[in-house]
Amino acid sequence: MLKKSDNSIRILIVDDHPAVRAGLTTLLGTQPGLQVLGSASGGEEALQILRAQSLDLLLLDLRMPGMTGIDVLLEMKRHDMRARAIVLTSFDTDEDIYRAVQAGAEGYLLKNTSQGEMVEAIKTVHSGRRYIPHRIASRLAERMMRSNLTARELEILKMVVKGLTNKQIARLLRISSHTVRNHVNSTIEKLDVSDRTEAATTAIQRGIIEIDQ
């Protein structure tokens, strides 16, 4: 249920956990200049509300069942929706941060962010500026400096993470072991690591490859 708006910053909370939605509504509802118009339990519901209501800003969870936060950001960009978005998530891997900003997020906060910083971020983003905490901004800068892995390199890296040898990868992909070795070496160079074991570990730590992939 959406509330009637005034001249405050009009906020929509998008998160699949009811306790998080309720907590944020309580946390922000008492702040002068802010108004939580409502909440959505998923991406599809959020987009429906955006199409029907005039909103200023979304606090957007990144990983939700069905339509993810990234999907919502891309859809907002595709349809030139005017509301700004701050990602509010428990995840802070390099890839999560990079993909969110690339998709159009203008702020990136972790769910353990203090009330004061959250309010500051909302007001900063509403004013037309980005709000990305220094630690996260540093990791984003490092990620953007690295060359992107190609689709084939990512495919092979997933297999490396699973423990497959070059010969096994070559057999599965029907390419030569020499070609696999070249892709692995290129990936090692791009990730700035020393060997395939470190490449696999780094890929998981940075969120490039998810363990269940």
DSSP string across 165-213: -HHHHHHHHTS-HHHHHHHHHHHHHHHT-SSHHHHHHHHHHTTSS-TT-
Could you list the residue range(s) of the whole structural domain that residue 166 is in?
A: 151-205
- Could you tell me if 14 and 115 lie in one domain? yes
CA distance 150 to 22: 41
- Could you tell me if 134 and 61 lie in one domain? yes
- Could you tell me if 36 and 116 lie in one domain? yes
Task: Evaluate whether residue 212 is within a structural domain.
Answer: no
pLDDT band at 147 (very low <50, low <70, confident <90, very high): low
Task: Evaluate whether residue 213 is within a structural domain.
Answer: no
Say whether pLDDT at 152 is over 60.
Answer: yes
HSE at residue 124, side-chain half, CA atoms within 13 A, is: 16
In the prediction, which pLDDT does 145 show? 61
In the prediction, which pLDDT does 83 show? 96
- Could you tell me if 23 and 127 lie in one domain? yes
Q: 122 with 77: CB under 8 angstroms?
A: no
- Which CATH number is 196's domain given? 1.10.10.10
Poorest-confidence range of 62-76, 144-158, 161-175?
Answer: 144-158
CB-based burial label for 101 (10 Å; 0-12, 13-18, 19+): buried
pLDDT band at 1 (very low <50, low <70, confident <90, very high): very low
Would you say the C-alpha torsion 128, 129, 132, 137 has a positive or negative sign? Answer: positive
- Could you tell me if 45 and 101 lie in one domain? yes
- Could you tell me if 167 and 63 lie in one domain? no
- Could you tell me if 99 and 164 lie in one domain? no
In the prediction, which pLDDT does 4 show? 47
Say whether pLDDT at 5 is over 90.
Answer: no
In the prediction, which pLDDT does 22 show? 96
Task: Evaluate whether residue 211 is within a structural domain.
Answer: no
Task: Evaluate whether residue 2 is within a structural domain.
Answer: no
Say whether pLDDT at 157 is over 70.
Answer: yes
Mean pLDDT of 173-183: 97
pLDDT band at 117 (very low <50, low <70, confident <90, very high): very high
- Could you tell me if 86 and 163 lie in one domain? no
pLDDT digits (tens, 9 = 90+) for 35-94: 999 999 999 999 999 999 999 999 999 999 999 999 999 999 999 998 999 999 998 888
Tell me what the pLDDT averaged over the chain comes to: 91
Joined tokens for residue 11:
């906020």
Domain total in the chain = 2
